[in-house]
C-alpha cells in the first residue's frame, strides 16, 4: 500500500473526529468533519442518514458512560477509505440501550471504517463488541 498525501490527510480527519467527537463530545467540531450527505451504519441506536444520527449516538454514549474516552489503537488508509481499531473506556452511569446504569467501568473495542469525500467523512461503518459489553454489564448472561 502506498502512503500518499491524500491518505495521510484522510487519516488526520478521522483521528480528529475520534479526538473531538466521542472523547470530548465537541459536536460543533465533529460536525465540521462530517459531509452534508453523511450516513451512519452501526448497531447502535439511530443509525441512518444525516449528521443528526451521529450527534445522537455521541450524546447517547456520553450520557451513558461517564468519562468516555476513545483511543485509536491502529489506523490505516487506502485511497478514500480509513479504517481504525479503537478502545472505548468509561463508567456506566446512565441508561444505555434501555438498561439502567450499573456503575461498572467499561472497556469496549471496535473497528470503524470511514469513507472520505471532499475532505469530510461521508460514511461510517462501525463494528463494536456490544455483546461483550452487555455481558460485562450483567445485561446478558455469560462473561466478556
Contact 12, 20 (CB under 8 A): no
> Tell me: the pLDDT tens digits for 58-110?
888 889 999 999 999 999 999 999 999 999 999 999 999 889 999 999 999 99
| Reported pTM | 0.88
Dist. CA 24–CA 20, nearest whole Å: 5
Domain 5-136 architecture = Roll (3.10)
According to the model, what pLDDT value does residue 49 have? 79
> What is the pLDDT averaged over residues 20-47?
84
**Confidence label for 144 from pLDDT (cuts 50, 70 and 90):** very low
Nearest to 33 by CA among 45, 22, 41, 42: 22
Amino acid at each position: 500500500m502506498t502512503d500518499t498525501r491524500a491518505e495521510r490527510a484522510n487519516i488526520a480527519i478521522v483521528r480528529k473526529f475520534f479526538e473531538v467527537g466521542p472523547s470530548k463530545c465537541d459536536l460543533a467540531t465533529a460536525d465540521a468533519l462530517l459531509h452534508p450527505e453523511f450516513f451512519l451504519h452501526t448497531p447502535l441506536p439511530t443509525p441512518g442518514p444525516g449528521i443528526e444520527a451521529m450527534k445522537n449516538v455521541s450524546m447517547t454514549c456520553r450520557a451513558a458512560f461517564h468519562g468516555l474516552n476513545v483511543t485509536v489503537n491502529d489506523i490505516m488508509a487506502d485511497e478514500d477509505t480509513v479504517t481504525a481499531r479503537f478502545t472505548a473506556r468509561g463508567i456506566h452511569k446512565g441508561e444505555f440501550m434501555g438498561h439502567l446504569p450499573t456503575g461498572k467501568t467499561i472497556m469496549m473495542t471496535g473497528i470503524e471504517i470511514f469513507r472520505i469525500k471532499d475532505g469530510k467523512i461521508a460514511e461510517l461503518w462501525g463494528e463494536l463488541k456490544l455483546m461483550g459489553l452487555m455481558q460485562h454489564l450483567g445485561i446478558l448472561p455469560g462473561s466478556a
